[in-house]
Structure 1
Amino acid sequence: MNDLLTRTRPFLTALGIAIALSQAVPSMAQTASRIQAADFIVAVVNSVPVTNSEVLLMRNRLVRELAGRGGQLPPTDRLNREALDMLINEKAQLQQAQDQGIKVDDDQVDQAEANLASANQLSRQAFHQRLAQEGIQLSSFRQQLKNQLILSRLREREVDTRIKISEQDIDQYLRDQAQATREGPVDLNLAMILVAVPEDATETQVRAAQARADDIAQRARRGEDFAQLAKAYSQAMDKGANGGVMGLRSSDQYPELFVDAVRKLKPQQVSAPLRSGAGFHILKLLEWRQSAMTVTQTRTRHILLRPTAQLSREQAVARLQEVRRQIQAGQTSFARAAQDISQDGSASQGGDLGWTGPGQFVPEFEQVMNRLQPGQISDPLVSRFGVHILEVLERRQVNVPEKEQRDIARAALKEKRIDEAFERWVEDVRGNAYVEMRDPPQLPDLTPAATQR
Structure 2
Amino acid sequence: MAAQNVSNIPRQADFIVAVVNSEPITNQEVQALRQRMAREASSRGASNVDTAQLNRQALEQLINEKAQLQQARENGIKIEEEAIDQAEMNVAANNQVTRDEFRKRLAKDGLTVKAFRDQLRDQLMLTRVREREVETRVRVSDVEVEQYLQVQIQAQGGQAPSELNLAMILISVPENSSSAQIKVLQERAEDVARRARSGENFANLAKRFSEAADKGSNGGEMGLRAAERYPDLFVNATRNLRVGAISAVVQSGAGFHILKVIERRQGQATLMVTQTRARHILLRPTAQMSQTQAITRLNEVRQSIIAGKTDFATVARQMSQDGSASQGGDLGWANPGMFVPEFEQVMNSLRPGQLADPLVSRFGVHLIEVTDRRNAPLSDQDQRTIARNALREKKLEEAYTNWVDDVRSRAYVEMREPPQ
Hey, what does 2:407 align to over in structure 1?
429
In the superposition, relative to structure 1, how do residues 90 and 340 fare at CA in structure 2: closer, same or farther (>3 Å)? same
Residue equivalent to 2:24: 49
Letter in 2 for 1:344: D
Larger Rg: 2
State how far apart, in whole Å, the 2-side matches of 1:94 and 1:321 are: 43
Task: For residue 291 of structure 1, report the CA deviation from its aligned partner.
Answer: 5.3
Partner of 1:399: 377
Post-superposition shift, 1:288? 9.4
SS at match of 1:346: helix
- In structure 2, which of residues 83, 95, 109 is the aligned counterpart of residue 120 of structure 1? 95
Q: What is the deviation of 1:424?
A: 0.8
Larger mean Cα displacement after TM superposition, 366-375 or 422-431: 366-375
Determine which of 164, 175, 180 is the counterpart of 2:150.
Answer: 175
1:420 equivalent among 398, 402, 408: 398
The equivalent of 1:90 in structure 2 is 65
What secondary structure is seen at the aligned counterpart in 1 of 2:323? coil
Q: Take 1:148 and 1:309, find their aligned partners in 2: how far apart are those partners?
A: 30
User: One-letter code of the match for 1:115?
Assistant: N
1:76 partnered with 2:54 = no
Correspondence for 2:418 among 440, 443, 446: 440
* CA shift for structure 1 position 140: 2.3
Between the aligned partners of 1:57 and 1:326, the Cα distance in structure 2 is 45
Partners of 1:105 and 1:188 lie apart in 2 by 54
The alpha-carbon deviation at position 419 of structure 1 amounts to: 0.6
Q: Distance in 1 between matches of 2:152 and 2:372?
A: 30
* C-alpha displacement of 1:290: 8.8
**Structure 2 equivalent of residue 349 of structure 1:** 327
> Structure 2 counterpart of 1:421, which letter?
A
Aligned with residue 137 of structure 2, among 143, 157, 162? 162
How many residues are aligned here? 315
1:365 aligns to what? 343
Structure 2 unpaired stretches of 5+: 1-9, 163-235, 243-264
Shift of 1:322: 2.6
Q: CA RMSD in A?
A: 2.8
- For the residue of structure 2 that corresponds to 1:388, the secondary structure is strand
- Asked whether the 8 Å contact 1:186–1:288 carries over to 2, the reply is no
After superposition, what is the alpha-carbon deviation per residue over 1:91-131, rounded to whole angstroms, capped at 9, x for unaligned? 11111000000011222112111111212222223323333
CA offsets, 1:328-379, max 9 Å, x none? Answer: 4454432222222221122222222222221111222222322333333333
Question: Cα distance 1:153–1:334, how it changes in 2: closer, same or farther (>3 A)?
Answer: same
C-alpha contact (below 8 Å) 1:43/1:435 kept by paired residues: yes
Distance 2:152 2:313 in 1: 43
**1:450 corresponds to which residue?**
none
Residues 65/326 of structure 1: CA separation in 2 closer, same or farther (3 Å cut): closer
Deviation at 1:61, TM superposition (A): 2.2
Residues 374 and 393, structure 1, Cα contact 8 Å, conserved in 2: yes
Amino acid paired to 1:408: I
Do the aligned residues in 2 keep the contact of 1:185 with 1:290 (CA within 8 Å)? no
- Aligned AA (1:355): W
CA contact (8 A) 2:161 2:269 kept: no
2:187 match: none
Say whether the 8 Å CA contact 1:44–1:435 is kept in structure 2: yes
CA distance in structure 2 between the partners assigned to 1:241 and 1:358 by the alignment: 40
Match of residue 316 from structure 1: 294
Task: State the AA in 1 paired with 2:407.
Answer: V
Match of 2:358 among 370, 380, 388: 380
Matched letter for residue 377 of structure 2? N
Structure 2 Cα separation of the partners of residues 134 and 174 of structure 1: 49
The Cα of 1:176 is off from its aligned counterpart by 3.3
Q: TM-score, normalised by structure 1?
A: 0.63
Partner secondary structure for residue 354 of structure 2: coil
3-state SS of 1:80 partner: helix
318 and 38 in structure 1: CA distance in 2 versus 1, 3 angstrom threshold? closer
The match for 1:131 among 106, 117, 131 is: 106
The residue type paired with residue 383 of structure 1 is S
- C-alpha spacing 1:177/1:371, structure 2 compared with 1 (3 Å): closer
Kindly report which structure 2 residues correspond to 1:106-255, keeping only aligned pairs within 5 A, or say none: 106-179=81-154, 181=155, 184-186=157-159, 242=241
The corresponding residue for 1:216 is none
Aligned amino acid, residue 103 of structure 1: K
What SS is found at the alignment partner of 1:38? coil
CA offset digits 1:49-86 (Å, max 9, x no partner)? 11222222222222122123222354222222211111
State how far apart, in whole Å, the 1-side matches of 2:152 and 2:335 are: 21
